Amino acid sequence: MPAEFSRTQRLGEQIKRDLALLIQRELKDPRVGMVTVNFVDLSKDLSYADVNVTVLVPEDSDEKIVESLTILNEAATFLRMELGRGLKVRKVPHLRFHYDDSLKRGARINELIHQALKSDQHD
């Protein structure tokens, strides 16, 4: 019976779960906002993992988000080493963190829909 998910997808999901815990428990930098790991996209040869995250910061400022991403990318070596302790793979992928703005885009689209509905009701 064939597997439902490919090895790449399974490994990506495992990295996503493990990274979420590592960032929450092991990353002690107070400048990092609340980070949510949305998804992990692995390269075909499993050497790189593009980690898409959402960063919630109090002011929701772009500077704070960029600062959090910079800190995450600087901590990538440490996080990779910690991932290697739990993963059963020969080589742990290099981590590259990227900001996932899908929540902001979704909120903006929702706002536009509500504005369009209000304008239709007034016409």
DSSP 88-108: --SSPPEEEEEE-THHHHHHH
Q: Give 103 or 6, the one with higher predicted confidence.
A: 6
pLDDT digits 0-9 by tens, 64-120 = 888 999 999 999 999 999 999 888 888 899 999 999 888 777 878 988 898 888 888
Q: Is residue 2 part of a domain?
A: no
For residue 54 the two structure tokens come to: 């959402």
Q: Is residue 56 part of a domain?
A: yes
Q: Is residue 64 part of a domain?
A: yes
**Which domain range does residue 89 map to?**
7-122
Q: Is residue 36 part of a domain?
A: yes
CATH code at 66? Answer: 3.30.300.20
Q: Are 31 and 68 a contacting pair, CB within 8 Å?
A: yes
**Number of domains comprising the chain:** 1
